[in-house]
């Protein structure tokens, strides 16, 4: 930020305020977890009016995604999964995840969140609550699929992202999207349609 | 170790020598990765005769498993997978992994190895080479299954272990072995039998 754009104090609508809300959000999510964090609490931490938080971020999910710099929110993902033919949900989910993780800019924030969840109990609780309540449970409810099956599908795709981009197992790291869809889509499909 | 059992200097057969070989092995594996580490190099690092290393550890795989305190070696796992009816390999693999990860004493060293692979590039290379060459490629060769399919099965079970024990997603964290076998065994089976 250049001296010209940096202003003292806070104004509604300045980039500054948005950044300060996100900094406060990261602190509150890390401390309280996803479930117990509230828009009101984050506004208090950022010393702004809750209405301003709502102005920038529609939902707590959206604020979490922005705070963690995630490339997609459950709000984007859920319709992509739930809408469209049920018999193609496996392929839709696999292609979506491969697309989102293909470029380092969108992948790295997700991997960073997972890394901290693997090594820090507080970060694990935050990740668990976010993934469960904002994503997996929503999908399970909307599609009327048992939660354990949604988690099995999550585990498959989580493992693929780790194997492909973090452990870099070959041939998985170099496989094309089509090759991976061919192998993985039937697994995910089976979890969703039994 | 009590003062009575702790002896100065090294003797073949003392608990000391074995421990020193393992310390040297951890150092060499971390530095060179699994592929480039040799029994000879580890013996040199531990300042013992290579024959002594072979006396304690049959193979490089066995030495790696002991150095990382892994509860099972590929030498144990591969026959369990490869022997027995091919149409039950899904269930055998899922049950084996659930059994091995059920108690914290056997699970923690595996999780520790994965954690360091997730956060450290050198540890990731070591883990990748070990998993690929000592386990996944061996299984792919013996069963004549494409490598990518073996890696998809690995990714599924890796994700399950992370979701169940590290992220602790519910209901997966509390699910019984039978519930998990029912959901996961068909996936693994499909990867192995197409």
> Using one digit for the tens of pLDDT, what is the confidence trace for B40-68?
999 999 999 999 999 999 889 889 999 99
How much is the pLDDT for A190?
97
Contacts of B2 (CB under 8 A, 6+ apart): none
- Residue-level pLDDT at A103: 92
What is residue B153's predicted lDDT score, i.e. its pLDDT?
A: 97
| HEC per residue, chain A | CCCCCCCCCCCCCCHHHHHHHHHHHHHHHHHHHHHHCCHHHHHHHHCCCHHHHHHHCCCHHHHHHHHCCCCCCHHHHHHHHHCCCHHHHHHHHHHHHHHHHHCHHHHHHHHHHHHHHHHCHHHHHHHHHHHHHHHHHHHHHHHCCCHHHHHHHHHHHHHHHHHHHHCCCCCHHHCCHHHHHHHHHHHHHHHHHC
pLDDT category at A171 given cuts 50, 70, 90 is: very high
Q: A73-91 burial by CB neighbour count: b if 16+ within 10 A, else e?
A: bbeebbeebeeeeeeebbb
pLDDT band at A76 (very low <50, low <70, confident <90, very high): confident
> Which of A34, A146, A187, A194 to mutate against chain B (most B CBs within 10 Å)?
A187
Fold type of domain A1-67: Arc Repressor Mutant, subunit A (1.10.10)
Rounded to a whole number of angstroms, the distance from the CA of A94 to the nearest CA of chain B is 13
Q: Picking from A1-10, A59-68, A153-162, A172-181, which range would have the lowest pLDDT averaged per residue?
A: A1-10
Are the beta carbons of A73 and A62 closer than 8 angstroms?
A: yes
Residues in chain A: 194
pLDDT value of position B77: 86
B-chain residues near A123 (CB < 8 A): none
Range list for CATH 1.10.10.60 in chain A: 1-67
Nearest CA to B154 out of B175, B173, B176, B137 is that of: B137
CA dist., res. A127 & res. A117, Å (int): 6
Model pLDDT for residues B31-44, shown as the tens digit of each residue: 888 999 999 999 99
Question: What confidence tier does B4 reach under pLDDT thresholds 50, 70, 90?
Answer: very low
- How sure is the predictor about A194, in pLDDT bands with cuts at 50, 70 and 90? confident
Note whether B140 and B150 are within 8 A (CB): yes
Closest listed residue to residue A10, CA positions, set A47, A38, A40: A47
Residue-wise pLDDT tens digits, A1-25 = 444 444 455 455 566 899 999 999 9
Site of tokens 């496996």: A90
Of B119, B132, B171, the CB nearest to A115: B119
Distance, CA of A184 to CA of A95 (rounded, Å): 10
Please give the Cα distance from B112 to B23 (Å, whole number): 16
Q: What is the pLDDT of residues A82-128, one digit of tens each?
A: 899 999 999 999 999 999 999 999 999 999 999 999 888 899 999 99
Backbone φ and ψ for B71, nearest 5 degrees, come out as: -75, -20
Q: What are the tokens at A82?
A: 């739930």
B91 has pLDDT over 60: yes
Could you tell me if B52 and B21 are in contact, meaning their C-beta atoms sit under 8 angstroms apart? yes
Q: What is the mean pLDDT of chain A?
A: 90
Q: Which phi-psi region, left, alpha or beta, contains residue B14 (left: φ > 0; alpha: ψ -120 to 50)?
A: beta
**pLDDT of B84 over the 80 cut:** yes
What pLDDT is stored for residue B81 in this prediction? 87
Best probe of the A interface among B148, B153, B176, B181, by most A CBs < 10 A, is: B148
Average pLDDT, chain B: 90
Helix B104-119 and helix B89-102: axis angle, to 10°?
100
The label of the residue with tokens 């507080």 reads A122
Of residues B98 and A71, more confidence is placed in: B98
- The shortest C-alpha distance from A9 to chain B (Å) reads 39
Neighbours of B161 (CB within 10 A): 19
Half-sphere exposure of B65 (CA within 13 A, CB side): 19
pLDDT, one tens digit per residue, over B105-152 is 999 999 999 999 988 889 999 999 999 999 999 999 999 999 999 999
User: Which residue among A115, A151, A179 places its CB closest to the CB of B148?
Assistant: A179
Q: Which two tokens stand for residue A96?
A: 């979506």
Give me the CATH topology for the region B71-193.
Tetracycline Repressor; domain 2 (1.10.357)
Over residues A22-42, the mean pLDDT reads 92
- Name chain B contacts of A168, Cβ cutoff 8 Å: 124, 128
A51-75 pLDDT per residue, tens = 999 999 988 988 999 999 988 888 8
Q: Is the peptide bond before A171 cis (omega within 30 degrees of 0)?
A: yes
Rounded Cα distance between A159 and A41, Å, is 34
Segment A161-172 mean pLDDT: 96
Residue A17 and residue A10 in contact, taking contact as beta carbons nearer than 8 Å: yes
Q: Closest to A163 (Cβ–Cβ): which among B151, B166, B171?
A: B151
What's the whole-number mean pLDDT along residues B65-94? 91
pLDDT of residue B15: 64
Delimit the CATH 1.10.357.10 region(s) of chain A. 71-193
- Across the interface, of B128, B157, B167, the residue whose CB is closest to A128 is B167
């Amino acid at each position: 930020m250049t001296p010209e754009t940096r202003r003292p104090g806070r104004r509604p609508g300045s980039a500054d305020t948005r950044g300060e809300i996100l900094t406060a959000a990261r602190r509150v999510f890390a401390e309280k977890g996803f479930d117990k964090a509230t828009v009101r609490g984050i506004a208090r931490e950022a010393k702004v009016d809750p209405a301003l938080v709502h102005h920038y971020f529609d939902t707590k999910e959206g604020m979490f995604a922005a705070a963690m710099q995630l490339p997609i929110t459950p709000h984007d993902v859920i319709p992509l999964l739930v809408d469209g033919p049920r018999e193609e949900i496996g392929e839709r989910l696999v292609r979506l995840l491969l697309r989102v993780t293909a470029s380092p800019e969108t992948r790295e924030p997700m991997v960073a969140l997972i890394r901290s969840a693997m090594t820090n109990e507080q970060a694990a609780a935050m990740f668990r609550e976010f993934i469960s309540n904002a994503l997996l449970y929503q999908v399970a409810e909307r599609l009327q699929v048992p939660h354990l099956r949604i988690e099995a599908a999550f585990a498959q795709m989580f493992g693929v992202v780790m194997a492909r981009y973090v452990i870099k197992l070959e041939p998985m790291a170099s496989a094309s999207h089509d090759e991976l869809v061919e192998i993985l889509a039937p697994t995910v499909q089976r979890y969703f349609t039994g």
